[in-house]
Homo-oligomer: A and B are copies of this chain.
Amino acid sequence: MNATALGPQVITKENLLKHWQGHRALTRRVIEAFPEKDFFEFSIGGMRTFAQLTSELLAIGAPAMKGIVNRDVKPYAEKLDIGTTKADYLSKWDEATEEINTYWNMLDVADFSQKFNLFGQYEFPIIDNIFYFIDNEIHHRGQGYVYLRALNIQPPFFWEREL
């Protein structure tokens, strides 16, 4: 169905993807802003490093979208073999960008209100799961901003979302 056939939308499917990928582009900039060593080692108050937070985001985004599209319930699995450098993480990030776009295009507007048991643990409407991915990323990236500030590094502007 095209937008006209659908009638007015709070947000269109295309714009929600653009919104998420804009956030992902900003998170990518935050990864880039970390010094190599601090990306893997720096933390505050016993929290995870930004590399560990990035692993979590990578374990959610593309694998979760694949699970949703295929209605294939698989347990959450955080990959521990992303690599040992920031460049490895960035390259995995870019792969995930493409995968998310591909799976997103396989969803229909009517799918968003259907329930799916994400990772066999989160039985919610698909839109709620997707908002969780986006919000969780913003949340952890907010932590990354504090790490950067504590390292005396200026983080990228929050509104910088161009791909």
Q: Is A74 an interface residue (CB 8 A)?
A: no
Interface residue tally on A, bucketed by range? 35 or more
Quick one: copies of this chain in the complex? 2
Residues of B within 8 A of A127 (CB): 10-11, 15
Task: Give the interface of A toward B (CB within 8 A).
Answer: 1, 5-13, 15-16, 19, 23, 44-47, 108-110, 112-113, 127-128, 131-132, 135-136, 138-143, 145-152, 158-159
User: A10-B112, A45-B150, A143-B146 known; 13 other A-B pairs, CB under 8 Å?
Assistant: A1-B8, A6-B7, A8-B108, A9-B109, A9-B113, A11-B127, A19-B131, A44-B149, A45-B146, A45-B151, A139-B139, A139-B145, A140-B142
